[in-house]
Structure 1
Amino acid sequence: MASSPDTSPDGIPAATVIIFRNGAEAGPPEILMTIRSREMVFAGGMAVFPGGRVDPADFELGARLGGPLDPDEAAHQVAVVRETLEETGLAIGLAGDIDAAKAQAARVFLQETGELAPVLEHFGWELDLQQLTPFARWFPKNERIPRVYDTRFYLANLGTGAVEIEADLSENTHLFWTTAQGALEAAERGEIKVIFPTRRNLERLALFGSFAAAKAQAEAIPVRTITPVMEEIGGKTWLNIGEDLGYPVTGEPLDRVLRG
């Protein structure tokens, strides 16, 4: 049995996924975002990508998988598959006899069991983690915040995206498709709220005209842990990240930053 993630001095392990679908009329691709319930301790009321903490059962399943991924990385990808099915009803990172009805039934089964392994066994499915592409890792260390998440981000593609999605209404209140640029513009208008890592990732995602382009950049830039730091620039305090991580905007004045 894995130790409780809350006790880790390195932060609470978490995983999130940026799910792409083709845009309308050959426009830029759309991505799936969710509005977190205001009652949630972390990022309550914020627009984020689907995902959540890595549970002990995810570590157990990741350790049993074998293959090219180390157990820790496998556990994070297992968490992405589980959280996506639970939060959205989408079956990503899975292979087998899967259709909309089976995905919905699997979601209900998962909500009852809380673990992915029984779902795989019950429906005769297998994990297909090659559907996930590592994109980034954010760990905003802050001694003043007791619950700090060490979050790995992944990319996945639905293609046409002609699928049903429905918020779980416990952790999330609303699911919506948007272009990355559209999400940034909505944030500027005050229609949604995004925390610092989400805004930086949306700016990076807005660079890409297709999922293929996003995946190519993700594979070309090794994932390194991003820990924002505060710096004094021009008499103001800024929150900044490194310049060589693939992000077109690397900082923001601290008085503008929304935090979880």
Structure 2
Amino acid sequence: MTGRDFTAGDFDAYGGFMTDMLCEGRAAATVVILRDRPDAAAEILMMERASSMAFAAGALVFPGGAVDAGDHALAAKIAGGLPLDEAAARIAAIRETLEESGLAIAFTSPLAADRIAAMRQALGAGAGLGDILSDHGLEIALDRLLPFARWHPARLEQAQRVFDTRFYIAEAPEGQAASVDATENVQLFWSSAAETLARCDRGEGQIIFPTRRNLERLAQFGRFDDLAAHALSIPVEKVTPWFEERNGEPHLCIPDHLGYPVTSEPMGTVRRA
């Protein structure tokens, strides 16, 4: 990759069918899953990408993936008052989380481990989430995913793949255990945002630009309810990073009114996909 097309692969949204929309980018979704702790900051589910992946190989990411045709089909049935593209993105986040981590988020009823495993296996075999819900007589609640951010880089080259990725936050379901899928990810762990940043600063993990910026924003809040109130207070706008020279050094920059405590980073330290 060139030095400037790294942004295309940094949106925690990979795998599956992706519609190539030349101007709009490929729709994708990712979800920050949190579980509160009584005496410490909330933990977030992080994944280590397999080294064989085309984008963000070996990087720590949130679960997520591209929006596919099945997500749009299901959205047409259950969107309620949501715009169809928004509903499809939330469905994709739920589907990808189940497939990648084995966590069934946003389901309206508690699920036994064996049923979750069966649904995950069906997804891996190519079944759509809509068919799986119908087969098991289950429903999902799209309002349990709270919009947090949206990242959409500018297309810098004709051949560059660009993702228009919605980020959500959600509470971890009680009584469920996450596990690797052994294909896209090789390790899962729970850690506070600050702990994950410190881990990477020690050289014990890698994160790319949007992941770092989002972790810095998440680290400002210790509990899910506080983070949710913050997310609701800031309208979601597309974040499109740009290059700018500051103090004689090129930086990658983002807007300063969207809740991010750090809004630029020298290009010399930016992790490329």
Q: State the TM-score, normalized to the length of structure 1.
A: 0.94
Quick check: 1:218 aligned with 2:262? no
- Whether the 8 Å contact between 1:63 and 1:72 is mirrored in structure 2 is no
Residue 7 of structure 1 corresponds to which residue in structure 2?
21
Match of 1:157 among 155, 166, 171: 171
Give the letter aligned to residue 225 of structure 1.
K
Matches of 2:175 and 2:197, distance apart in 1:
24
Quick check: 1:82 aligned with 2:92? no
Match of 2:213 among 200, 208, 212: 200
C-alpha displacement at 1:250, in angstroms? 0.5
Higher alpha-carbon deviation: 214-223 or 137-146:
137-146
- Whether the 8 Å contact between 2:107 and 2:141 is mirrored in structure 1 is yes
Higher alpha-carbon deviation: 236-245 or 94-103:
94-103
Q: Within 5 Å, give how 1:49-64 maps onto structure 2.
A: 49-64=62-77
Deviations along 1:61-119, one digit per CA (max 9) or x if unpaired, are 11222411010000000001100100011110212351222111211122123410111
Matches of 2:78 and 2:99, distance apart in 1:
21
Residue 161 of structure 2 corresponds to which residue in structure 1?
147
Match of 1:27 among 31, 40, 64: 40
- Whether the 8 Å contact between 2:150 and 2:239 is mirrored in structure 1 is yes
- Whether the 8 Å contact between 1:17 and 1:51 is mirrored in structure 2 is yes
Deviations along 1:22-55, one digit per CA (max 9) or x if unpaired, are 22x4210000010111111121111000001111
- Whether the 8 Å contact between 2:18 and 2:27 is mirrored in structure 1 is no
Give the letter aligned to residue 25 of structure 2.
G
Higher alpha-carbon deviation: 67-76 or 55-64:
55-64
C-alpha displacement at 1:162, in angstroms? 4.3
Matches of 2:156 and 2:69, distance apart in 1:
24
Matches of 1:42 and 1:16, distance apart in 2:
15
Residue 133 of structure 1 corresponds to which residue in structure 2?
146
Residue 3 of structure 2 corresponds to which residue in structure 1?
none
Residue 83 of structure 2 corresponds to which residue in structure 1?
70
Change (3 A) 1:187 1:129: same
Structure with more helix by fraction: 1
The percent identity for this pair of structures is 45
Residue 43 of structure 1 corresponds to which residue in structure 2?
56
Name the SS of the counterpart of 1:21 in structure 2.
Answer: strand
Give the unaligned 5+ runs of structure 1.
Answer: none
Give the unaligned 5+ runs of structure 2.
Answer: 1-16
Matches of 1:87 and 1:201, distance apart in 2:
20
Matches of 2:51 and 2:226, distance apart in 1:
34
- Whether the 8 Å contact between 1:51 and 1:80 is mirrored in structure 2 is yes
Name the SS of the counterpart of 1:143 in structure 2.
Answer: coil
Match of 2:242 among 223, 226, 229: 229
Match of 2:194 among 166, 181, 203: 181
Name the SS of the counterpart of 1:136 in structure 2.
Answer: strand
Matches of 2:254 and 2:161, distance apart in 1:
21
- Whether the 8 Å contact between 1:184 and 1:202 is mirrored in structure 2 is yes
Which aligned runs of 4 or more in structure 1 are off by greater than 6 angstroms? none
Matches of 2:109 and 2:123, distance apart in 1:
17
Matches of 2:25 and 2:211, distance apart in 1:
18
- Whether the 8 Å contact between 1:137 and 1:224 is mirrored in structure 2 is yes
